[in-house]
Chain A
């Protein structure tokens, strides 16, 4: 059976550098994601998405595959409790005049898996919140949305 893929595109009134920083700076990610995204952002380095209330708990983790500020970031993506199941998330950031097109492609997913269900629900929450933070200075309450 072929692997599954999810694509989410959003347009944000911002600059590629600000969108890049929002994706990779833990102080920014906690404002719209409710988690700290931690890595030194070098190809081959590890990354993890840590819960703010419990930094020892990672919601997701993996390796940095490609990192070209501010245009493209590619990550391998796993659950810490199941590191042998690996998917891939790619972020493409394109400047279009005064706005940015952010394309998130999450692929190499097992069909009908818990991970596929989770990211299909999760990316719209996270990326809606990211857009709100960059355009209004205030993210959405992602934690609450995840718990619904």
Chain B
């Protein structure tokens, strides 16, 4: 295998517009992304940054494609841990499809690096974030950070 890839699909009882807003609005993001958030104007060619509550940048990249409310493709470089940072840019895609009263969200995150450290890290992170996002949209309340459990 020549590259690394994470793929996740979740079905959410919401609309494509509400899901898009949850994926791109930094205040909504903070509530389900365990106090992390992305900042960008989400236009193709613009930059984006992932920051923690202290403003430290953990990841950053460029918006490659932005079709509200159906598709977002961004380049993604980790900035915090040296090994993942040295891998350079990965690519992350949100695909949002309406399925009757539901929305199907497909998240793929891939890297050209074999056995990528970044993809290994995000593979455990995405299920937490996307489970919390689904809870927020369906119940009004996101999940607590499972990494901070007693």
Contacts and interface: CB of A to CB of B under 8 A. Distances in A.
Contact of A10 (B13, B131, B141, B144): B131
Contact of B100 (A10, A101, A141): A141
A83 interface: no
Interface in A112-148: 124-125, 128-129, 131-132, 135-136, 140-141, 144-145, 148
Contacts of A5: none
Nearest to B100: A144
Interface in A75-101: 96-99, 101
B134 A148 contact: no
Given A98-B144, A145-B11, A136 B138 contact: yes
Contacts of A8: 8, 127
A128 to B, nearest CB: 4
A11 B146 contact: yes
A12 interface: yes
Interface residues of B, number: 25
B11 A11 contact: no
A9 interface: yes
B134 A128 contact: yes
A131 B149 contact: no
A128 B139 contact: no
Contacts, number: 63
A13 interface: yes
Nearest to B101: A141
A124 B102 contact: no
B120 interface: no
Given A11-B143, A13-B143, A145-B102, A128 B11 contact: yes
Contact of B99 (A12, A131, A148): A148
A131 B134 contact: yes
A63 B47 CA distance: 52
B11 A99 contact: no
Contact of A125 (B11, B127, B134, B141): B11
Given A11-B131, A101-B146, A128 B10 contact: yes
12 contacts: A11-B132, A99-B146, A101-B146, A128-B10, A128-B12, A135-B135, A135-B139, A136-B139, A140-B102, A141-B100, A145-B11, A145-B99
Contacts of A131: 131, 134-135
A132 B13 contact: yes
Nearest to A6: B7
In the A-B complex, the 7 residue pairs with the closest CB atoms: A11-B131, A124-B9, A128-B11, A9-B127, A97-B149, A96-B149, A96-B146
Contacts of B141: 13
